[in-house]
Amino acid sequence: MDLDDDKIDAAVLALLRLTLHDGRRTWKGFDWDSMDRLHRKGWITDPVGKAKSVAFTDEGLERSERLLQQLFGKGAEPEA
């Protein structure tokens, strides 16, 4: 199956928002490739290391909130 990495990254970023704590930290429990792509896009801090969480950048925090509502909010229609 040919998968769209950008769609996967959008879903992962939205789901990371569910574990938001301490203002901008989130637990890093997703595929390493996805987490690395989110870091390269500038939405989270570097996921490499022993810490069990990463921090959202300002842009990543805003984007994650929008995507969470867009993809998973009641009455929301996901964008293709």
37 is a domain residue: yes
Residues in contact with 59: Cβ distance below 8 Å, sequence separation at least 6, in sequence order: 42, 43
Query: How confident is the chain (80 residues) per 10-residue block, as mean pLDDT?
Result: 95 96 94 96 95 96 96 74
- Tokens found for residue 15: 């789901």
pLDDT at 11: 96
pLDDT at 3: 94
- The answer, as to whether pTM is greater than 0.75, is yes
78 is a domain residue: no
How many folded domains does the chain comprise?
Answer: 1
Judge contact between 54 and 25, C-beta under 8 A: yes
Q: Which domain holds residue 55?
A: 5-71
18 is a domain residue: yes
77 is a domain residue: no
Query: 80: buried, middle or exposed (CB in 10 Å: 19+, 13-18, 0-12)?
Result: exposed
CATH number at residue 18: 1.10.10
Per-residue buried b or exposed e for 40-68, using 16+ beta carbons within 10 Å of the residue's own CB: eeebbbebeeeeebbebbeebbebbeebb
